[in-house]
Structure 1
Amino acid sequence: MNKPLSEADVRKYNLRIWKIVIGGIALFAIFISMMGFGLFGSLPSFRDIEHPKSNQASEIMADDGRTLGTYFVQNRSNVTYKEISPNVINGLIATEDTRFKDHSGIDFQRTFTIIGYNLIGKKQGGSTITQQLALNLFSEEGRQRNFFKRVMQKFKEWVVAVKLERNYTKEEIITMYLNTVDFGNQAYGIKSAARVYFNTTPDKLTVPQAATLVGMQKGITMYSPTRNPERSKQRRNTVMAMMVKSDFLSQQQFDEEKETPLNLHFNAATVNDGIAPYFRSVLKNDIKTIFEEQGILKPDGTPYDLDRDGLKVYTTLNYEMQEYAEEAQKEYMRILQAQFIKSWKGRNPFKDKALQIEQGVKRSDRYKSLKLEGKTDEEIKTNFNTPTDLTIFTWKGNVDTTMKPIDSVRYYKMLLRNAMMTMDPTNGYVKAWVGGINYEHFKYDQVKMGTRQVGSTAKPFTYAVAVENGFSPCLTVPNVPVTIEGYGDPYTPKSSGVPLAGSITLQKALAYSQNYVTAYLMKQVGPVAVANLATKMGIADVPAYPSICLGSFDASVYNMVGAYGAFANKGIYTKPIYLLKIEDKNGVVLFSQKPIPKPIMSEEVAYVMTRMLKGVVTNGTGSRLNYKYHINAPIGGKTGTTQNNSDGWFMAVTPQLVTGIWTGCEDRAFHFLSTNQGEGANTALPIFAGFIKRVYANPKLKISHADFEAPKSGVSIVFDCNQYQKLEEGPTELDEKLGF
């Protein structure tokens, strides 16, 4: 039988236990201190704590502050505490860290409880929200799987969590957490998650929506609402039940909400998400160029990364107008494509087009990829003639099919392309930009990067020079062939159809796009003056040859819209502008710019040109805007159709908007067979009609039906043809008697 311990023995053992406990605490404190000094691996510095690193998406903003899209490696955009619904905050605290507002980064009470649960086999997570934030921000390797490494990582989290608590408020910490957490499906942060899963913003998340997103943090894949909807719903209800337990939600509301479906509005996040993908692609390249040319660097001297540095890019694009432009294009191009295919029925569009098909093969991604793999030309030819699984674009959506790659090249050669841009002529602000028909399949931007022959849309430049030299729109000219000499070989343009008989006014000649009268004016004013004006209007590389009067040169939609803007803006040219300002993630302005207006013609000449362009729409090649699409507003315009109907154009001017639209195939060798179908009035004008109808129907846009303002100083150029005729005929006998 053991002898009972004496009082001295008890004191001795107690002292020994206390020494062990105190020694253990001291050793642990020394260990934590050593870890804080980085002796067991580097920890973030105070500067790192103040400026935590995270891959943050850069946002492209429309003129009203809405997001057009993002550039990202991780689709992450930050929001402030006030921009997050209380439902999210409450759900997160109730589920992840009920004592969040009371602890200082480490909840020891909860930690020891969790240890107890784990010892009896009930696996529980013990990290506070602050510790989870520490892991998200500073542990690049993620959560360690090795037990001993994970223990060391856990202690580091404690140190970082305490630092975070000392440097940030509770609101800032929970906001940082929600901005950095991964929600799956390329949705990083609550803002991205709200849009990807529910097509909403964080401030509008309902209780069930918030609970769904919070619930995912227990396991992104296991509780994914897209992959495991039933499990996600159960987890959502668990989160709501915990909100009831924490008094964030009433029992009645829980009972009402727990049976509701998930009601996802899922849109997977890709860099092509959002509207205006062509615009955003051009803009990205522009910003890179600006940063390089102006030497704009981060405070640490390294270049900015648009995909990681969370910049805010402010643009001039109008969200609604951009949507309307994309809708109008999609609406009409599917109709036009059907017309195009039907027009070739019974004919072989690829006859004598072997060169174009070969060029198409060599431009394709498949060809470039095979070349990089070291394939020979013969192997590549075999590959292109072997049926394979492909996804092709159609106006009814992507189609998965099996076909020879060479046949897909032929298919795309017969696919009509289209581009459109709209600008406010008063300040040069671009309002809508549609660079192609589908960015996923066709990356090449046709608004600014591509140029095509402009055809008759160039005629107003010659008319403007003539008006500036005293020619009245009411001047009558014989509509007969004209030969222009003195600039190389004699130039005698042909008519683009049956010419109007007899003598006609300049106004009528422009309205009906008569080549002979345009050539007559070119002969009077000379190509140098016309080329100079076109250059002043922002169109580069216009040669001083007589043929430019009929649009023999190439230009982009971007430059043509800028040029026509001078007519609408009282003779003042403003280069189209679409980038206003770039800020870093802290709101520091890195770059800004303003439009630079340049007077290039008198207000009087510009006003007369707008009246002549209105004549094209009221009684000319653009008249279907009125009689077919019933748009009765003071709109000026000019259609354009190039040789063989390869390109169709329509330029439209109003006092508040100038729009340019081009339609054609990728290769000029493929085109409509008849001018009736291939002219700009049929291939481009209807898209403008669909766009402007939507614009006029939205009163928020404040685009009025007001006419162009006449110069306050008056107009000396006679554009009233009745008055002009009287002046030409001279004073009548009655006029003389009355003293006129």
Structure 2
Amino acid sequence: MFAARATGLIKLMGLCLMAGVLVAAMLFPVVGGLGLASNRAADTVDQTSGELTKAELPLVTTVLDMHGQPIAYLYDQYRIPVPSEGISDTMKAAIIAVEDKRFFEHKGVDWQGIARAAAKAGVDGETTQGASTLTQQYVKNYLAFVVGKGSEEAYEKATEATIGRKISEARIATQLEQKMTKDEILTAYLNVVPFGNGAYGVGAAARTYFDTTPDKLTVPQAAMLAGLVNEPSRLNPGSDVDAAIKRRNTVLDRMRDNGAFGPDAKDAEEKAAEYKAADIGVVPDLKLLPNGCVGAGDGPVYGFFCRYLIDYLEKAGLPVDELRRGGYTISTTMDPVATRAAKEAAEAQVPKTQPGIANAMAVVEPGPDRHRVRALAANRDFGNNADAGQSAYSIPAEVTKFGAGSIYKVFTAASALERGITGIDKQIDVPKTYTSRVYKNGSKPYTVKNAGNYKEKMTLTEALAQSPNTAFIILEEKAGLNNVVDMAHRLGLRESMQGVNNEGNPLKPDGSNGPSQGDTYKRDNSGSFTLGAGPTSVLELANVSATIMSGGKWCPPTPVEKVVDRNGQPVQLKETPCDQAVAPEVANALANGMSADTKPGGTAAGASAGWNRPMIGKTGTTENHHSVAFMGATPQFGGAVMTFTDGAQPQVICIGNPPRLCGTNEANGVYGGLVAAPTWFRAMNVIHQGKEVAPLPPVDPRYR
């Protein structure tokens, strides 16, 4: 008893001292000799109080699909701001009763409350009454969760038990009371304060715990929420219902004592008892708003697109920290039908449970001024559980460490067409083996051979369908390796050629892990470039097909239609402008030259899928069978699929149903026409439903 009273007396002295200092600070704001305040500190107080009157709170950014439906939310603090009229009087009464019952009487600092707290401290050692007004709490929470972004360091600084902080807080509070009405302060407080479970502000709290809005909160609901701000973690009704109910009932008692239930004591007591008897009423599964790409609307399906979107916006001038606080609305290009079709097709060929094999697809819509990304999907689910076959990096968008095989022959063909070396109907030589006079294999001659038996001569169109290696090495010599590498970059492999090194690792800003893949091929005079062994992005392959079908116009593969800020104003992004990669006549000729891959001599996947539309296409298989690919397009949609070994130890992907890893057994290796092409056709059949059958562009006779 004596110890408690002694402790109380110490606290009494501390509170009295604090009260005296606060009074002095109010009357004499500049007390330089004592070090309590300065002109600079006063200026800071003025600035902070000004910011508090027009506080811009951290808000949720919403990501929409092409139809305007939400697919993801990005935020640091889940908050739904509401105006005063959107908050029930019951909620306001509850928070005032438990946190600051003299709210409408004081001017920011409750001197009577401090005196009462001091007196109580002297009696029983407690200081639970009157220590901080709602206005002061608003200041504290604003500094901790708005200015300090909710960091532990910011919270500690905003709540540190020092006289200097209390002086600053009190001065800001008194200034606020001169600049804002009581209702404005109360509303601002209720929009800032945390309520636990990631909910900040009463709007998010009402939705999270009761799936309602603040204007519809019942008395017991309002009391529970008001009780949470004291210790939201300990009083979490999702984990400790008894503690939450006990605290709620304490709030109800305070509301009764504060006259919230009317002036008649008996009637007020009966109402309080009735409210206390009510069930906690929290929804069984708290309405927690999904946060980030893993928690996207259909996270396993939409997450890859979401991940690419964030990376794209970062490069376009909207960093992720800003996205998570800015309250933007992002209208994207994502087509949920196309995305699901790609996902189902990828899994149909390679189940998600199949270890070590990824099957990824990207779909891009051609256009003269925009190349809209309609789908990014994979057999993998988007997520953090690798044991369940999930991946949290954007498999279809990032540059993989594996190649697209013979698809790179398209760049050799394009360069040869552009330079007038051949036409799509012109016969080219197809020897069984060929030793290059230009390229070397180290110190030895560079010799290639074909994987099958071919005619000694065939047209370029036939060669693109049947893919003889020797013919394209000869064309690469004539067109020039540097020109062919540059053509790959021009048509769309921009990150693949210049953003990564030969191992597929992103180039460091200082260039210490360079040169780039494209520059490496040029430096080493590697004729194998046309065989497509190097790191490749599935999305960029899809965009190559879109460039060809857009008359040679390259545009960045964009996931964004528009971005508006919290006030509905459009946000300008720093997007790379489109450019004419090749002349329309060259692109149109190349498109027609690629039109035979689904006919006899090319892949049989189109016929098996019942495909009956004009299209361009090219299969690819790397020499070691670690990856296979298919790139194709119609005038409406371009797309690419890559199937590659994504385990810690790359292996041969062998033929099977489904395909499987088989160590180094290249003799049974799979081909692009057996996995990647069927994935493409299965998805594109769905994506093209209801679309007109569009012809390929006409060919200028010069390129025949």
Give the secondary structure class of the aligned counterpart of 2:196. coil
Q: Equivalences for 1:505-520 in 2 at 5 Å?
A: 506-515=460-469, 518=472
Q: Equivalences for 1:237-276 in 2 at 5 Å?
A: 261-266=283-288, 273-274=295-296
What code does the residue aligned with 2:484 have?
V
Whole-angstrom CA distance in 1 between matches of 2:116 and 2:683: 62
What is the aligned partner in structure 2 of residue 344 from structure 1? none
Give, in angstroms, the shift of residue 305 of structure 1: 9.2
What percent identity do the matched residue pairs reach?
A: 21
Give the secondary structure class of the aligned counterpart of 1:134. helix
Give, in angstroms, the shift of residue 141 of structure 1: 5.1
What is the aligned partner in structure 1 of residue 12 from structure 2? none
Q: Which 5+ residue runs of structure 1 have no aligned equivalent?
A: 1-24, 297-303, 342-414, 698-703, 725-740
Give the secondary structure class of the aligned counterpart of 1:483. strand
Offset from partner CA, 1:651-707 (integer Å, 9 cap, x none): 24344543333332236741213499433345445655676577568xxxxxx7245
CA 1:305–1:463 in 2, change beyond 3 Å: closer, same or farther? Answer: closer
Kindly tell me the number of residue pairs found equivalent between the two proteins: 592
Whole-angstrom CA distance in 2 between matches of 1:578 and 1:567: 19
What is the aligned partner in structure 2 of residue 224 from structure 1? 236
Q: Equivalences for 1:178-193 in 2 at 5 Å?
A: 178-189=190-201
Give, in angstroms, the shift of residue 562 of structure 1: 3.6
What is the aligned partner in structure 2 of residue 453 from structure 1? 403
1:660 pairs, out of 600, 621, 640, with 640
Whole-angstrom CA distance in 2 between matches of 1:264 and 1:492: 66
Decide whether the 8 Å contact of 1:315 with 1:579 is kept in 2. yes
Whole-angstrom CA distance in 2 between matches of 1:622 and 1:67: 39
What code does the residue aligned with 1:167 have?
K
Whole-angstrom CA distance in 1 between matches of 2:540 and 2:200: 39
2:489 pairs, out of 531, 535, 555, with 535
Decide whether the 8 Å contact of 1:66 with 1:319 is kept in 2. no
What is the aligned partner in structure 1 of residue 140 from structure 2? 135
Offset from partner CA, 1:48-78 (integer Å, 9 cap, x none): 2233599947858557788776777xx2266
Give the secondary structure class of the aligned counterpart of 1:131. helix
What is the aligned partner in structure 2 of residue 32 from structure 1? 26
Decide whether the 8 Å contact of 1:91 with 1:240 is kept in 2. no
Give, in angstroms, the shift of residue 220 of structure 1: 1.0
Decide whether the 8 Å contact of 2:333 with 2:372 is kept in 1. no
Whole-angstrom CA distance in 2 between matches of 1:620 and 1:117: 96
What code does the residue aligned with 2:140 have?
L
What is the aligned partner in structure 2 of residue 601 from structure 1? 582
What is the aligned partner in structure 1 of residue 619 from structure 2? 639
CA 1:653–1:238 in 2, change beyond 3 Å: closer, same or farther? Answer: farther
What is the aligned partner in structure 1 of residue 506 from structure 2? none
Offset from partner CA, 1:221-278 (integer Å, 9 cap, x none): 343232124655787899999899679xx99999999768444244675796545767
Please say if 1:310 is aligned against 2:310.
Answer: no
What is the aligned partner in structure 2 of residue 336 from structure 1? 350
Give the secondary structure class of the aligned counterpart of 1:486. strand
Decide whether the 8 Å contact of 2:64 with 2:70 is kept in 1. yes
What is the aligned partner in structure 2 of residue 487 from structure 1? 438
Give the secondary structure class of the aligned counterpart of 2:434. coil
1:705 pairs, out of 678, 691, 697, with 691
What code does the residue aligned with 1:705 have?
K
Whole-angstrom CA distance in 1 between matches of 2:382 and 2:25: 59
Please say if 1:549 is aligned against 2:530.
Answer: yes
Q: Equivalences for 1:369-380 in 2 at 5 Å?
A: none
Give the secondary structure class of the aligned counterpart of 1:485. strand
Whole-angstrom CA distance in 1 between matches of 2:550 and 2:205: 44
Decide whether the 8 Å contact of 1:637 with 1:651 is kept in 2. yes
What is the aligned partner in structure 2 of residue 407 from structure 1? none
What code does the residue aligned with 1:716 have?
D
CA 1:203–1:93 in 2, change beyond 3 Å: closer, same or farther? Answer: closer
Give, in angstroms, the shift of residue 646 of structure 1: 0.3
Whole-angstrom CA distance in 2 between matches of 1:479 and 1:154: 86
Give, in angstroms, the shift of residue 93 of structure 1: 1.2
Offset from partner CA, 1:482-505 (integer Å, 9 cap, x none): 526321356554344x44678765
Give the secondary structure class of the aligned counterpart of 2:654. coil
What code does the residue aligned with 2:490 have?
K
What is the aligned partner in structure 1 of residue 652 from structure 2? 671
Give, in angstroms, the shift of residue 47 of structure 1: 1.5
CA 1:173–1:330 in 2, change beyond 3 Å: closer, same or farther? Answer: farther
Larger mean CA deviation between 560-569 and 460-469 belongs to 460-469
Please say if 1:416 is aligned against 2:397.
Answer: no
What is the aligned partner in structure 1 of residue 366 from structure 2? 425
What is the aligned partner in structure 2 of residue 4 from structure 1? none
Decide whether the 8 Å contact of 1:477 with 1:506 is kept in 2. yes
Whole-angstrom CA distance in 2 between matches of 1:179 and 1:246: 25
What is the aligned partner in structure 2 of residue 22 from structure 1? none
Give the secondary structure class of the aligned counterpart of 2:350. helix
Give, in angstroms, the shift of residue 180 of structure 1: 3.0
Higher relative contact order (CA 8 A, sep 6+): 2
Give the TM-score normalised by structure 1: 0.61
Larger mean CA deviation between 616-625 and 177-186 belongs to 616-625
Give, in angstroms, the shift of residue 595 of structure 1: 3.8
Give the secondary structure class of the aligned counterpart of 2:437. coil
What is the aligned partner in structure 2 of residue 716 from structure 1? 700
Decide whether the 8 Å contact of 1:58 with 1:311 is kept in 2. yes
What code does the residue aligned with 2:95 have?
E
Give, in angstroms, the shift of residue 716 of structure 1: 2.9
What code does the residue aligned with 2:414 have?
A
Give, in angstroms, the shift of residue 34 of structure 1: 4.0
CA 1:664–1:178 in 2, change beyond 3 Å: closer, same or farther? Answer: farther
CA 1:133–1:467 in 2, change beyond 3 Å: closer, same or farther? Answer: same
Larger mean CA deviation between 166-175 and 222-231 belongs to 166-175
Give the secondary structure class of the aligned counterpart of 1:510. helix
What code does the residue aligned with 1:494 have?
K
Give, in angstroms, the shift of residue 570 of structure 1: 1.1
Decide whether the 8 Å contact of 1:221 with 1:227 is kept in 2. no
Q: Which 5+ residue runs of structure 2 have no aligned equivalent?
A: 1-18, 145-153, 263-270, 498-517, 660-669
